[in-house]
Structure 1
Amino acid sequence: MLEPDALAALAARYGIGETLTGQVLIVDDDLGNLDVLRAFLDADYVVHEARSAEIALKLLEVERFDVIVCDQRMPGMTGIDMLAVVRERYPDVAGILLTAYTDTPVLVDAINRARVFRHMHKPWEPEDLLGAVAQASAMVQQRRLNARLLELLSARSDELKLALDELRAAQHKMLHLERLGTIGRLTAGITHDLRNTLGGLTLLESLFEAQGVAPRLMSPLRVGVSATRHLMSTLSTLHQFAAGSLALKEEPIDLSDVLRDALVLAGLEMEQRRSRCVITVEPGLPPVRCDRARILQVMVNLLRNAMQSTDAPQSIQVEVARTPGGVSIAVQDEGPGVAPEIASRLFDPFESTKGAHGLGMGLYMCRLIMEQHGGSIRSVPPVPPGGGARFVIELPRGPDDR
C-alpha cells in the first residue's frame, strides 16, 4: 500500500477530498466488552456501538463507517454472518472479527465468506487492536481513493470524447484550406494535448498495477492507453509529412516479423473484442526493403480498423503474397464493408470507414506512407466466402530483390 503522505499527495493532485470518515462501529452483545473497546478506541476515532448484528446493520443504513469491530458469538446473527452481509452491501468497509474460538471452519468462513480484514483471538492486546484498526483504516482509505480515481478516469474519457466530437465538427471548415499545411498545424496542437492526457493515463495505469487492481478494471484502461498512443503516433506522422521532415529508414525487412509485432500491439484490444487474426504467408518470400516502423504503423492501423468494423467477435484474415512487382499484404474483416458513398474518397483526410466514430486520419496516413515507399494501398472487394472490407497494400521490390 502507498504511505499516508503519498496517498495525501495523490489525492491532492487530483482534487480528491478526504475518503475516511473516522467512524468505527463496535458490535458485541456484552455491554462490558463494548465499554472496554470504546475506552481504547475513543481517543482516535468516532466510536458507535451496537449490541446485536441486526442493530449494527440498521446503523449502517444511516451512517458511513470505515471499520467494524465485532464479536463472533452473538445471539441471532453471528459476527461472520453480519460481516458477510456488510461485505456485500458496503464493500469499502473493513471488518475485524473477535473470537475466543480457534477452530479451522470459523477461520475459513471468516476469510472466504466474510472477507474479514483481521481475525483476532480473545483476550486481545490493546496495542494489537489499535494497530489492526489503524491498518484497516489505511486499507479503506486506499480502496476508496482507487475507486475515486477510476471515476475520474471515466470522466476524463468523457472529456476526451467531447474534444473529439468538437474536432469532427470543425472538419468541414478545414476542407477549404491547404490540407497538409493545415493538418500539420492541427496535429501539433492535438498531439500536445494528448501527450498531457496520456501522461495522466499512464500514471494511473502504473498506480493501479502497483496496487493490484483487478484485471477486468485494468483491461479498459490499458486499451485506452494503447488507443491514445496509437492516435498520437498517427498524428505525429501526419505532422512530419506536413513539415516535410519524414525521412524513411529503409532496410531489408521480413514482413512476417512486422506482422507479429503488429499483432502484439493490437492484441489487447483484439482480446477484449474476443476476435482473432489468421495470418497466411506465402512460403519463400524474400525480405522487402522498407521502413520497418512506418510499415508497422500501417499494419496496426489496418488491424485496428478491421477490429472496429463490428462489435461482434470476428476472424480477421491477413494474407501475404508475392506479386509481379513486389509483395502484397491483404487485411479482410467481417464487418459491413465500405459504404459506396465514401469508397472514392476513402484515403482522403477526414473520410472514415467508422462514420461519426472516426477521425478519418488513419487511412490517409497509410496512403502517405505507402506512396513514400513507392507502393500503394487500395480497397478491393472481399474474397468469398467472407464479407466485410478488404484492404491491400503493395510494396515494390527493392533493387537487390529483383
Structure 2
Amino acid sequence: MSTIQPANKIRVLYVDDEPNNLLAFKASFRRKFEIFTAHSAAEGISVLNSEMVHVVIADQRMPQSTGVEFFDIVRVSHPEPVRMLLTGYTDVEAIVDAINKGQIFRYIKKPWDELELETAINNAFEVYHTRLQLKEKVQELERTNDELNRFVYSTSHDLRSPLASVMGVLNLAKMEKSVIDPNGYMQMIESCIQKMDFFILKVIEYYKSIRVEEVNQPVDFKMLINESIELCRMQNPAITFKVEVNQPRQFYVDVFRMSVILNNLISNAVKYQKPDELNPIVKLVVDVTDEKAVISIEDNGVGILEDHVNNIFKMFFRSNFTVNGLGIGLYIVKEALNRIGGEISVKSKQGDGTKFEVSIPNKLPVTSNKPSQLVAEEI
C-alpha cells in the first residue's frame, strides 16, 4: 500500500511515563518523523496546545491517568490528531471499549516492532490527511450551498417586481376592457403569473426557514391557528373548520417556524379536498403538556396513495396532479420541524382523507409556569 509523503515530516507526539521508552522511541524514529515527547497526560495536553500534531501515541499504563483516559480528553479538546495506544498488558476490555468509542485508531503491543509501528504511523497519517481533505470539502460545499441559497433568495425577490408589474397591466386591461380576448388567453396568463408568484413566495419562505435563527417565544395556539385559517379559507370558502385547543400551560416555540408549519399543513388540507364533497371539513386538535405539543390536522379530502406516503416530504414530489400544487409545501414543513426538533407522521387512505400529526418539544424556560385555556369551537 502506498503511503502519503508529506512535504514536511509527520509530527508525532509520544506520551509515556518511562523516560527510557521516550528515549528509545525518539532514537528509533527521529530521522523519519518529527517527534514530540511528554512524561504525563498533562504534559501531553500542553504539547497539543502549542504544537500542530498529526499522530498521538500514548502508553496505556501511566500512574496519573491511563492512555484511554488521556485520549478521552484529547478526543474532545484536540479531535484532529489520530490516536494510537501502546500497551504491554492484556487489558482487552479497555482497548475494545476505547476502539468502539472512537478514542483510538488502533493499538500496538509493547515492546513494539519498529517496522510495524512505522507502518501504523504512516497509516494513521493517511487517515489524518483524508479527514482533513474531507473537512475542507465539506466547508467548501457549505460555502457553495450558502451562496446558492443567497442567490436564489435574491433572484426570487427580484422576480416578484416584474411579475407584479405584469399583473398590474393585466388588471388595468381588464378594468378598461381595452383588450378583446374571446379565447381566454389573458385569464391563462394571469393564472400562470399567480402560480409563479406563489412558487417564488414558497422559495422565500423556505430560505427564511433554514436561515432565520431560532427564537423561542410563548405561543397562543388558538390565535396562531385562526390566523392560518384566515389565510387559507379563501382557497375554499365552503370548508368547515373544527378547532379544539387544549392549552392548560404556557408553550414556548419558534413562532415563525410554527406558523410556517401550520400554514402549509392547513393549506394542503384545504387544497386537497374532493371537488364533489358536500360537507368538506378540516379538524385541528392541539394538546399541550409540559414536555410537548401534539397537533393533528385531519381532512376528508382526496387522500394519498399508499405507495406515495413515504415520498410526500421530498422536494417537488406531488402525489396528486389533478390539484394545482408545487410539491414544496411538505418539504418546507419537514425542514422547519427539523430546525425546532419536531416530528411528523401521516395516515391517509385514497378517497378517505389524510391526517397529519405533529409533535413539537416545549422550549419552556425553567422559571415559567403560566396556565392558559381550554377552547373547543366550530369556525
| TM-score, normalisation: structure 2 | 0.49
For CA contacts below 8 A with separation 6 or more, give which structure has more relative contact order: 2
Q: Which has the higher helix share?
A: 1
| TM-score, normalisation: structure 1 | 0.46
Q: Compare CA radii of gyration and give the structure with the larger one.
A: 2
